[in-house]
Chain A
């Protein structure tokens, strides 16, 4: 059974930093690109970032480029999101999501499994 379990969400002040983690199990982690997708309270879904299966390529939404860094440790079946210079508009539930396409360097952009999310609140 595929499982994705996020952690690390807390209340942080504007300008602060935070690192989210996602522990994966139930599939061959290093076969798949992985994503972070967020959802502000009461709002829709926003794609945030993508990392290739080997961690060699990373991609970001314009809204987070230069502030967030995605990474992965395939030996630990784990995905990370380092979030710096946080803003109020970054307040959201952050989901990690598995890409559907095995071996595709940038994935196929279909998200077939999602974690339960971890809440990041940016507030003073």
Chain B
């Protein structure tokens, strides 16, 4: 099975900051990667799929990049509504697997 490792596990940032979250797969997954945002008490929301494709309705300040084993999620200018936990997930092979999550907190 493919293991997904996210870093950092938490990050403190201010409104307007640029935030980057990293996700590493234990083996190559091409571009079969998704990013989700989860706010407290809410279901996860798909932000990005295929490593860099923005899901419909997601603000353009979110972007994804990478292929193979190393991926990043970037929030170009952090907004108050972006404080949440972010998960990466590999979709390359069975079973689908999530990273451990990165909590973006207010500095």
Contact = CB atoms under 8 A, between A and B. Distances in A.
Interface of A: 35, 44-47, 59, 61-62, 95, 100, 106, 108-112, 114-117
Query: Which 3 A-B residue pairs are closest in the complex by CB-CB distance?
Result: A109-B91, A114-B43, A109-B96
A58 to B, nearest CB: 12
A115 B43 contact: yes
Contacts of A114: 43-45
5 contacts: A45-B36, A109-B94, A110-B49, A114-B44, A114-B45
Interface in B29-86: 32, 34, 36, 38, 42-46, 49, 55
Given A110-B46, A112-B46, A117-B43, A47 B91 contact: no
Nearest to B6: A44
Contacts of B44: 45, 95, 111, 114
A45 B94 contact: no
Given A46-B98, A47-B96, A100-B49, A110 B91 contact: yes
A47 B95 contact: yes
B97 interface: yes
A52 to B, nearest CB: 13
Contacts of A111: 34, 36, 44, 46, 89
A47 B98 contact: yes
A104 B89 CA distance: 19
Contacts of A112: 46, 49, 55
A44 B49 contact: no
Contacts of A115: 43
B98 A45 contact: yes
Nearest to B97: A47
Contacts of A108: 91
B43 to A, nearest CB: 4
A59 B43 contact: no
Greatest chain A CB density within 10 A among B32, B89, B90, B101 is at B89
